[in-house]
Amino acid sequence: MSSWDSPPDYPLSSDLVRRLKSALATGDKDTVQELICTEVEPVDAVIELANDDWMKEPSAQLPTGALLGLWTLEYKRELTTPLCIAAAHGHVFCVRHLLGHSADPDARPGGRGALHEACLGGHTACTRLLLQHGADPDLLSAEGLAPLHLCRTPASLGCAQALLEHGATVQLECVPGRDTPLHVAAQYGLDEHAQLYLGRGARVDARNGRGETALSAACGAATRSPDEHARCLRLCALLLRGGAAADARDEDERSPLHKACGRARPSLCTLLLLHGADAGALDYGGASPLARALQTATCAPPAAPQRTVQALLNHGSPLVWPDAFPKVLRTCAQVPAVIEVLFNSYTQLRVSESWQEVIPEDVYQMHEPFYRSLFALAHTPRCLRHLSRCAIRRLLGKKCFLLVPQLPLPETLQMYLLLEPEGVLR
């Protein structure tokens, strides 16, 4: 009989579980230690910390989420062991005590073992203790994840090092999505983990079940803070130096550049372009990196969307079809700097006064100087300086970013040639 079918040694309703959950909730380490080390018997007892089996109680008030998911008839139950609890919370004394009393380091009644829990919490000392007592470094959880796949935070670097020292397989694929530990490091922006794995022989261009390389996964991952963004940039630079293909396509034919543009990361886009990424690549939906940047411009951080568009155009990105410009205007109305950069990449684009209808009135008022300058061009040709800019850019082609800074011109003119926004159109 499996632990799922067998009644737990300490069910949710037991006095010990109530006290244990209270101690865990309040961070009372001493009480947790006392309960685990002195009251729980046997040492590998199965403890029930949660039970959402509402089917057992017909009179229970069900949350909306449960009602919406009624058809699945899910039975959720959290079973664990004293060793898993101690490892998850970094209680080294408890882990040592339990292992000294022959606790099974690979027991996983709830689907994850103690080593999984230690890695999730980034508890290096617990991880090393478990490995020293014979824990399997490649033990798969019920979800098909090895401990290395659960090293997902900067604090877990020591855990990853310990696992590899004890024989963990650096190229092991997880069951659900075939992610390797390097993919996981890329998804979470863990540059030091990635360096560790590459140093241990991880294949830089290994593909997961979605056809992604680690570089592709890193470029598509969300970053929220400047620190996360900096780590992601370092990680991608590391992967590229290690031989990662800058243009590797996933199952949707999206390149790392498509994903970086969709996240409005100008520094990352520039890095990829400098390593040969194709600014004109099309995915299965026919979208280019420029299209991805324009689609997400309004929800990007300030200045990021125009810098992304600028980088693409200075590396030879094809322009938007002129007849589609009103759609760009509608999508990017709130970020006029994007419209300015794109508009200035055309030698002459016919401006229609009807375009004003696609711009919300409050947005027009907020950015009135720019939009007045745009619609003033409805009856006026572009100035000679702009036409000269276009001629030079056409001559330099995809190498604008490289050759313009070498021209014997003042920096202000160099920036003008590279489409630096000015706030108005002339």
Residue 69 confidence (pLDDT): 44
Residues 186 and 295 in one domain: no
| Domain enclosing residue 193, as ranges | 1-53+76-199
Query: Would you say 47 and 80 are in contact if contact means Cβ atoms under 8 Å apart?
Result: yes
Residues 425 and 292 in one domain: yes
Residues 16 and 148 in one domain: yes
Residues 161 and 302 in one domain: no
Residues 305 and 180 in one domain: no
CATH number of residue 90's parent domain:
1.25.40.20
The whole-model pTM stands at: 0.89
362 belongs to a structural domain:
yes
* 10 three-class SS: strand
Residues 174 and 291 in one domain: no
Domain boundary among 147, 168, 199: 199
Residues 32 and 164 in one domain: yes
Residues 166 and 24 in one domain: yes
DSSP 73-113: ----EEEE-HHHHHHHTT-HHHHHHHHHTT--TT--TTS--
**Running DSSP on this structure, what letter comes out for residue 360?**
-
Residue 4 confidence (pLDDT): 46
263 belongs to a structural domain:
no
Residue 76 confidence (pLDDT): 64
Residue 224 confidence (pLDDT): 78
Residues 160 and 293 in one domain: no
178 belongs to a structural domain:
yes
Domain boundary among 183, 199, 215: 199
233 belongs to a structural domain:
no
State the total domains in the chain.
2
DSSP 104-168: -TT--TTS--HHHHHHHHT-HHHHHHHHHTT--TT---TTS--GGGG--SGGGHHHHHHHHHTT-
Residues 292 and 165 in one domain: no
CA distance 194 to 151: 11
pLDDT, tens only, 140-177: 999 999 999 999 999 999 999 999 999 999 999 998 89
Residue 353 confidence (pLDDT): 87
277 belongs to a structural domain:
no
Residue 188 confidence (pLDDT): 95
Residue 67 confidence (pLDDT): 43
Low-confidence ranges of the chain (pLDDT < 70): 1-5, 52-76
Domain boundary among 147, 171, 199: 199
Angle at 255 between CA 212 and CA 184, to 5 degrees: 30
Residues 321 and 187 in one domain: no
70 belongs to a structural domain:
no
239 belongs to a structural domain:
no
Q: Is the dihedral of CA 215, 217, 218, 220 positive or negative?
A: positive
419 belongs to a structural domain:
yes
Angle at 369 between CA 366 and CA 371, to 5 degrees: 80
Residues 183 and 314 in one domain: no
